[in-house]
Structure 1
Amino acid sequence: MIRKTALAAALVPFLLATTHSVSAETIAGAMAKTYANNPDLNAARAALRAIDENVTIAKAAMRPQVSGVAEATAARRTFDKDQCVESSAFGCIRFGNRTDTFNSSYGISITQQIFDGFQTLNRVRSAEANVLANQEALRAQEISILLAAVEAYTNIARDQAIVVIRQKNLEFLREQLNASKARLNVGEGTQTDVSLAEAQLAEAEALLVSAQAALKSSEAVYFQIVGDQPKNIKQPPTAKRGVPRNLDQAVAAGLRDNPQILSAERSVDAAGYNVKAAEGTMLPGVSLQGDVFKSVNDSGSTNDNVAGSISARVTIPLYQGGAEYGQIRQAKERLGQQRILVDSARLEVQQTIISVYTQLEAALASIKANEAEIEAANLALKGVIEERNVGQRTTLDVLIAQQTVLDAQERLVISQRIAVVASYSLLASMGRLTVRDQGLQVAEYRAGDHYQAVKDKWFGLRTVDGR
């Protein structure tokens, strides 16, 4: 943890716990609000729920296909005037020059796929693997958005600190301007000293306005990500929970638990099943079909009848224009691509972990150096002021010494922000910046619950949540 000296705490009071700590927003609280409110995260969850339905869609090919069929036929027959409609012993009987008939039938047809070269089975397995891949992708997005909340929180803490530093600098420069004017009035100073103090004061006012504008911008970003206005933000410490002891542990944990790697591995499984499904198009297929129909004529006679049939069909693919071969080769290339992406994900995770780990170490070292620099700069500033008071230094020397203090204070704030973000980035790269790992006080979204609810549904128009 970062040890603050008494002098640094006096110069940068916002780094310490305030009297409003009860109502202050913690970094964990900000992450919990983000997890519950962020619209991008909620949209990603909805997208995953849609992907869950692919398993049900794939399983449909295993189930019977039932269709209702109705058919109606109307016919009219016209006769010539000399045409005999019906003959008898008395000659030709004519009933008119036309006849109308109307026949109808209705029934039901059921088709059941018995065997399709394991295509459906492998498509279902591919869909299941794809769901698991997208669950990991969702976890990666949750981690990314929680890290964005950390960055937004620390940006406000940094900008608030810089505003306070520049306000105090402005107060100091006003005192120096008044002192320069007083020295001029008693003949100990010059107009040049007054002008230098006025110029430095004007620059400090501009810097303060710039810092206030940066703070407002950071607050807007915070609201966009977290979904709530920032309240009493205070400087957070570096992450503690789940932080590894050394770089080797961090890399090992990242290669094991990072969701980007796990998602890529699940995608390899899905692509492998797609290859098997494509190869299944070369195998025979067997299906059964049953039909039941009732015919009705317009005379209401006993000619109405019910007919039923059942048939089995065996299809042996011989040649389909070469499309089946192209699909198999295509599926194999995509499988190879997914395997390469796994290697790419591992290398990216390893590089990110090493980068943020070294960045964290450098930031912690910078903090110690900045604290020592502030202490030395303040002692030097006091000495320059005393020497100026006895005529051994000029106002310019005082302003330069004050600028050194100001720069050191701002560097400390920036280093602290870098250290905090780097520590949480390390957890994110390891796959540990999650609700469960960080113990956030918010209900965890369980993606598997929706999947279990819909994977075996046979019918129904409403979603799980009733829409």
Structure 2
Amino acid sequence: MRRLPLFLLLAAVAVAAPARAETLDGALLRAYNNSPVINSSRAGVRALDEKVPQALSSMRPRASANAFLGVQENRMVTKQQDIPLTDSTLQGPVKSVQSGGSVPRSAALSIEQPVFDGFKGMNATRMAETGVFAGRERLRLTEQRVLFGAASAYMNVLRDTAALRLQESNVSVLAEQLRQTRERYVAGQITLTDIAQAEARLAAGQSLASQARAALEASIGAYRQSIGVEPKKLAPGAPVDRLIPKSREEAERIALAEHPVILAALHDADAADIDIKVIQADFMPKLSIVGNVFTQTDVAGIYNRNVGGYVGGRLNVPIYEGGLTSSQVREAKEVAGQRRLDVDVARADVLALVRANWGALQAAKTQISAAQTQIAAAERALYGVREEAKAGQRTTLDILNAQQELLNARIGLIIAQRERVVASYAVLAAMGRLTTEILALEATGYDPAIHFEQVRGLWGGMDTPDGAR
């Protein structure tokens, strides 16, 4: 098996390659701009934005109108004993009947303006804003996961395509080896055992090639899912070492300060603390100004009309609510304690992730160097075994084993090169810096603050703002 140049091990062509190859940066950009996962997360953040005007609405005026319209029929019968003044012996009942119909109707307009609610609305607004900030960090985490998934899918296609080429090349070499073995058998140099060994190794090589083809198809499917298009011609991928600090300690420091998992956990802890104050406001009195104007016609009776209005203050002083609010405060305090512990958990998880990915990156660098040395040694060994076999000092099985060792070494290099690139992106993601800005990708700009500012001060309207997607 002749030696392949190193660049061929990571150069991949999947079907009908166009003139211009797809780059890893281009694939990441395509995945970022077209990812339904990112678009879904953005919609979720926009939904969180609406929690802020909802909280602000608690201190805004409320107005309501109601009206009543009906039909009524009245018949009133009265009886009385009437005694004539001229003759007291004559007396008899007098019956009076009154009847009529009317259309009772009424209308009223009520307005209430909260004045004091125990600071519940203010704290609810702060909690909603904190929830929005946490949502933005989770959106950033989603974007990083999409970018890392795209980088992994890209490198998997390169790896599996190169591995398939090596397996197919190995099948060709084994087929040629079998042909030469049969010629040597005809010449009386070897036995049928050598032919059987070559045939067995060829069948095994064909099986491995079939497995490599299936693995490539699976990687192409994952590529299509992550990036949105079929892979055509892919340029070799490169690690992002320029964006990674020189020491693991520096990477850990950056991760603790910038990773979205930690920042989201901190915002969640702040929101939980504020929620305690929101619930405690239910112990405090509430004051509002209430105004009402109304008109009533034929409601209290036929031919009766009442028009009026009033303005007053409404004071509500809670005294005892059965222990409900007290239980809610205790619950909120426990949740706040849990959220603070979640911050510690998030920090520990991120530090472990940085360390694991940093170790994987260093191991991949060592594996590449070792695999290159192994390939060079395996090539020399294969050449020597073939020469010794010509002198009758080696068997066919020795040649087949040497060929297999060389194939394994080359596949090991392909895997190490893939791990080298992916591990560098994994370290960048563990630091919280796998973003389009850090990677210098010309991505379609999206600023979640735009939609937030558009809806924060809205007092009404059911149409979603434009320009925030």
Three-state SS of the structure 1 residue aligned to 2:50 is helix
Which residue of 1 is the match for residue 390 of structure 2? 389
Map 1:153-168; keep pairs closer than 5 Å: 153-168=154-169
Aligned residues: 459
Residues 118 and 435 of structure 1: CA distance in aligned 2, closer, same or farther (over 3 Å): same
Which residue of 1 is the match for residue 178 of structure 2? 177
- Which deviations, in whole Å up to 9, do the C-alpha atoms of 1:32-74 show, x marking residues without a partner? 1111222222211111111111111111111111101212354
Which residue of 1 is the match for residue 64 of structure 2? 67
Displacement after TM superposition at 1:27 (Å)? 1.5
Displacement after TM superposition at 1:455 (Å)? 1.3
Identity between Structure 1 and Structure 2 (%): 38
Map 1:41-190; keep pairs closer than 5 Å: 41-72=38-69, 74-80=71-77, 83=79, 96-190=97-191
Query: Aligned letter for 1:259?
Result: P
Residues 12 and 391 of structure 1: CA distance in aligned 2, closer, same or farther (over 3 Å): farther
The 8 Å contact of residues 295 and 304 in structure 1, kept in 2 or not, is answered as yes
The 8 Å contact of residues 28 and 227 in structure 2, kept in 1 or not, is answered as yes
Residues 188 and 246 of structure 1: CA distance in aligned 2, closer, same or farther (over 3 Å): same
Which residue of 1 is the match for residue 326 of structure 2? 325
Query: Aligned letter for 2:266?
Result: E
Which residue of 1 is the match for residue 371 of structure 2? 370
Which residue of 2 is the match for residue 39 of structure 1? 36
Query: Aligned letter for 2:58?
Result: A
* Counterpart Cα distance in 1 of 2:171 and 2:435: 42
Which residue of 2 is the match for residue 353 of structure 1? 354
Moved more, 367-376 or 106-115: 106-115
- Which deviations, in whole Å up to 9, do the C-alpha atoms of 1:103-162 show, x marking residues without a partner? 322131101111010011101100000000011011111111211111111111110111
Moved more, 95-104 or 266-275: 95-104
* Counterpart Cα distance in 2 of 1:267 and 1:17: 45
The 8 Å contact of residues 18 and 232 in structure 2, kept in 1 or not, is answered as no
Residues 425 and 50 of structure 1: CA distance in aligned 2, closer, same or farther (over 3 Å): same
* Counterpart Cα distance in 1 of 2:350 and 2:57: 39
- Which deviations, in whole Å up to 9, do the C-alpha atoms of 1:410-455 show, x marking residues without a partner? 1111111112111101000111111111111221322221111111
Question: Structure 1: where are the runs of 5+ without partners?
Answer: 1-6
* Counterpart Cα distance in 2 of 1:30 and 1:149: 7
Three-state SS of the structure 1 residue aligned to 2:344 is helix
Which residue of 1 is the match for residue 262 of structure 2? 261
The 8 Å contact of residues 12 and 165 in structure 1, kept in 2 or not, is answered as no
* Counterpart Cα distance in 2 of 1:212 and 1:451: 49
Displacement after TM superposition at 1:177 (Å)? 1.0
Query: Aligned letter for 1:246?
Result: S
* Counterpart Cα distance in 2 of 1:406 and 1:440: 37
Three-state SS of the structure 2 residue aligned to 1:45 is helix
Which residue of 2 is the match for residue 413 of structure 1? 414
Displacement after TM superposition at 1:186 (Å)? 2.0
Displacement after TM superposition at 1:334 (Å)? 0.9
* Counterpart Cα distance in 2 of 1:22 and 1:353: 39
Which residue of 2 is the match for residue 339 of structure 1? 340
